[in-house]
């Protein structure tokens, strides 16, 4: 009797959270092209409620969950959420080995410039597009225009452009976690500092470090974030920080908005001392050559980086910092760090929410809502039929309440 493996004939489940989606799969030649089209669609629209970008993401997710390389278009037609446009792209890659549409996007200066500008911390697609339409093409065009009133985060984003556009390695993330944890333990022994986000899903590089802080005793996390930040500031480890208070309102769960969470948090930029980073850093990109894509920039298969080499060159090369002595090499590297505080009773939900992927969470929440009449957030799960909250002390509990098979973080890479 064969062991219970998923049969090829079995149709793929509709919700991404019902599937296993790993970082490495069999269809990168298609998903890299679709990821680029998703990103490009996001540049054209304003990011939120972007149905075109979402359609590309969903098509790519179905291909990522496939157990073998796709070899014919008929098979793609049978997969869930593969729209007409995505089918055409897949067909082009099957027939020609690349997508003309993707190639054209890469060849034009819109995509490249948008990548450059949205790479500035504090700059989203709307601002980047406005600058593109004004005629700006380089970071110096932005820096040298005195009529622009840049926000504080955008200014530091320009100053630290190169640092913040160099992927954070897992080793660096571990160093930052240790730095934060040692301060946290001094303030509140027994508190937990967990590396979440992409690194928890098994990525070896990321755009930032996501640290979820909690304490097994409810209430002991109160006040911890500002105290930790004060200590880090005292050690001159922060280049930027912006803190938001906890705005969690238990009565809001029954309302429609449940995508954003309300934890106390800090979006920051750490100064990571270069002497702490070992020489084994900045591993070379994995040598995959995705179809329809020229000169892949990084090993992150989720996010295409076509213009990267040009962008960094345009960014103006050397890593000097414009504070004080302008020619002095700085001794640290800027790294984006998100610190989130969750009380014990919400910890399991916070862990699921901050582990991601963003798209996995989206599917979990839709599944909870449409298939189980439950509202899932990063704080709670609420049964809208029984009118009760469902407490969870682990991620397994969360999946169990939703009557879904448990997925390891590494299986949530959709
Ligand atoms: N997240 C969230 N609320 C926010 C920002 C992020 O719930 N305001 C969640 C995202 O849904 C994601 C996780 O936190 O699941 C990490 O987000 P992010 O750092 O943006 O993405 P990663 O998956 O970590 O990818 P990367 O490596 O690029 O950082
Ligand atoms: Mn497989
Ligand atoms: Mn992250
Ligand atoms: Mn983050």
Any domain includes 153 = no
Is it the case that residue 259 has pLDDT exceeding 70?
Answer: no
* Residue of higher predicted confidence among 325 and 197: 197
Which residue's alpha carbon is at the smallest distance from atom 19 of ligand 1? 197
Averaged pLDDT for residues 314-341: 71
CATH number, position 407: 3.30.210.10
Q: pLDDT, tens digit, for every residue of 153-171? A: 999 999 999 999 999 999 9
Last residue of a domain, one of 296, 326, 345: 345
Last residue of a domain, one of 106, 140, 158: 106
Any domain includes 375 = yes
Any domain includes 176 = yes
Any domain includes 214 = yes
> Which has the closest alpha carbon to 7: 68, 71, 59, 70?
68
Quote the percentage of the chain above a pLDDT of 70: 82
Is it the case that residue 86 has pLDDT exceeding 90?
Answer: yes
Is it the case that residue 254 has pLDDT exceeding 80?
Answer: no
Averaged pLDDT for residues 294-308: 40
Is it the case that residue 256 has pLDDT exceeding 70?
Answer: no
Q: Is the same domain home to 339 and 400?
A: no
- Tell me the C-alpha distance between 33 and 102, whole Å: 7
Active site residue 208: yes
Q: Is the same domain home to 338 and 206?
A: yes
Last residue of a domain, one of 106, 138, 158: 106
Environment of ion ligand 3 (residues, CB < 5 A)? 197-198, 206, 208, 210
Is it the case that residue 335 has pLDDT exceeding 80?
Answer: yes
Helix (H, G, I), strand (E, B) or coil at 64: helix
First to last CA, the chain: 32
- Tell me the C-alpha distance between 371 and 365, whole Å: 10
- Tell me the C-alpha distance between 184 and 192, whole Å: 8
Instruction: Specify the range with the lowest mean pLDDT, choosing from 216-230, 265-279, 353-367, 391-405.
Output: 265-279
How many Å is the Cα radius of gyration of the chain?
22
CATH number, position 68: 1.10.150.110
- Tell me the C-alpha distance between 26 and 63, whole Å: 8
Q: Is the same domain home to 353 and 340?
A: no
Q: For residue 320, what are the contacts with CB-CB under 8 A and spacing of at least 6?
A: 326, 327, 328, 329, 330
CATH number, position 175: 3.30.460.10
How buried is residue 51: exposed, middle or buried, by Cβ count under 10 Å (0-12/13-18/19+)?
Answer: exposed
* Binding site, annotated residues: 208, 210, 338
- Tell me the C-alpha distance between 156 and 323, whole Å: 11
Number of domains in the chain: 3
Q: Is the same domain home to 85 and 207?
A: no
Any domain includes 289 = no
Averaged pLDDT for residues 186-214: 98
Average pLDDT, the chain: 88
The backbone torsions φ and ψ at residue 179, rounded to the nearest 5 degrees and listed phi first, read -60, -50
Is it the case that residue 301 has pLDDT exceeding 90?
Answer: no
Query: Tell me, what's the pLDDT at 326?
Result: 55
Is it the case that residue 6 has pLDDT exceeding 90?
Answer: no
Active site residue 210: yes
Any domain includes 213 = yes
Partner residues linked to 335 by β-bridges: 270
Instruction: Specify the range with the lowest mean pLDDT, choosing from 215-224, 325-334, 392-401.
Output: 325-334
Active site residue 107: no
Q: Is the same domain home to 173 and 100?
A: no
> Which has the closest alpha carbon to 159: 171, 167, 151?
151
Q: In this structure, are residues 168 and 277 in contact, taking their beta carbons and an 8 Å threshold?
A: no
> Which has the closest alpha carbon to 36: 137, 107, 84, 96?
107
Report the residue among 356, 413, 414 best suited for mutation to probe ligand 1: largest number of ligand atoms under 8 A from its CB: 356
With a threshold of 0.85, tell me whether the complex ipTM lies above it.
yes
Q: Is the same domain home to 180 and 266?
A: yes
Which residue's alpha carbon is at the smallest distance from atom 15 of ligand 1? 356
**Which DSSP category does 65 fall into?**
T
Q: Is the same domain home to 216 and 353?
A: no
Which pLDDT band holds residue 390 (cuts at 50, 70, 90)?
very high
Q: Which of 338, 369, 383, 397 is catalytic?
A: 338
- Residue 82, domain extent: 16-106
Q: Is the same domain home to 32 and 70?
A: yes
CA angle at 151 for the pair 146 and 153, rounded to the nearest 5°: 125
With a 6 Å cutoff on the Cβ, whether 304 touches ligand 1 is no
With a 6 Å cutoff on the Cβ, whether 358 touches ligand 1 is yes
* Residue of higher predicted confidence among 251 and 42: 42
The structure tokens listed for 338 are: 């998100």
Q: pLDDT, tens digit, for every residue of 26-80? A: 999 999 999 999 999 999 986 566 899 999 999 999 999 999 999 999 999 999 9
**What's the order of all strands across the beta sheet hosting 388-389?**
374-376, 381-383, 388-389
Query: Tell me, what's the pLDDT at 46?
Result: 67
Any domain includes 71 = yes
Query: Tell me, what's the pLDDT at 263?
Result: 86
Tokens 């092209």, located at residue: 33
Q: Is the same domain home to 49 and 96?
A: yes
Q: Which of 92, 210, 261, 302 is catalytic?
A: 210
Q: Is the same domain home to 48 and 195?
A: no
Q: Using alpha carbons, list the distances in angstroms from residue 66 to 133, 300, 310.
A: 40, 19, 34
Q: Is the same domain home to 260 and 232?
A: yes
CA angle at 126 for the pair 122 and 131, rounded to the nearest 5°: 85
Any domain includes 83 = yes
Q: Using alpha carbons, list the distances in angstroms from residue 54 to 8, 156, 281, 358, 396.
A: 26, 30, 34, 12, 28
Q: Is the same domain home to 340 and 405?
A: no
Query: Tell me, what's the pLDDT at 162?
Result: 98
Query: Tell me, what's the pLDDT at 10?
Result: 82
Q: What predicted TM-score, i.e. pTM, was given to this entire model?
A: 0.88
């Amino acid at each position: 009797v064969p062991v219970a493996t998923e049969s090829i004939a079995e149709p793929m489940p509709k919700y991404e959270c019902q599937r296993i989606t790993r970082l490495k799969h069999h269809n990168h030649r298609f998903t890299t092209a679709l990821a680029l089209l998703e990103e490009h669609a996001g540049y054209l629209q304003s990011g939120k409620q972007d149905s075109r970008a979402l359609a590309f993401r969903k098509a790519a997710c179905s291909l990522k969950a496939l157990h073998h390389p796709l070899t014919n278009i008929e098979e793609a037609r049978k997969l869930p959420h593969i729209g007409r446009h995505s089918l055409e792209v897949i067909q082009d890659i099957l027939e020609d080995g690349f997508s003309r549409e993707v190639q054209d996007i890469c060849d034009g200066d819109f995509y490249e410039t948008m990548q450059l500008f949205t790479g500035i911390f504090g700059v989203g697609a709307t601002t980047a597009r406005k600058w593109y339409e004004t005629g700006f093409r380089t970071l110096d065009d932005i820096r040298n225009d005195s009529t622009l009133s840049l926000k504080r985060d955008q200014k530091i984003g320009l100053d630290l452009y190169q640092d913040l556009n160099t992927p954070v390695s897992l080793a660096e993330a571990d160093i930052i976690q240790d730095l934060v944890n040692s301060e946290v333990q001094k303030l509140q022994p027994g508190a937990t500092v967990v590396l979440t986000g992409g690194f928890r899903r098994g990525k070896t590089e990321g755009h930032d470090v996501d640290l979820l802080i909690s304490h097994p005793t409810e209430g002991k996390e109160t006040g911890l974030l500002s105290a930790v930040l004060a200590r880090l500031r005292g050690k001159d480890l922060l280049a930027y920080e912006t803190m938001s208070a906890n705005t969690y309102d238990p009565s809001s769960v029954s309302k429609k908005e449940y995508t954003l969470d309300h934890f106390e948090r800090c979006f920051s930029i750490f100064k990571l001392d270069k002497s702490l980073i070992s020489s084994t850093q900045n591993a070379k990109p994995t040598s995959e050559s995705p179809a329809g894509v020229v000169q892949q920039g990084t090993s992150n298969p989720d996010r295409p980086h076509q213009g990267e080499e040009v962008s960094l060159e345009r960014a103006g090369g050397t890593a000097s910092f414009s504070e004080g002595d302008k020619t002095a090499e700085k001794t640290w590297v800027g790294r984006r760090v998100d610190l989130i505080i969750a009380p014990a009773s919400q910890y399991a939900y916070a862990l699921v929410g901050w582990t991601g992927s963003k798209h996995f969470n989206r599917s979990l929440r839709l599944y909870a809502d449409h298939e189980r009449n439950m509202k899932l957030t990063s704080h709670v799960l609420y049964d809208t039929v029984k009118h009760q909250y469902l407490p969870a002390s682990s991620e397994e509990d969360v999946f169990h309440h939703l009557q879904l098979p448990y997925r390891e973080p590494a299986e949530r890479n959709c």
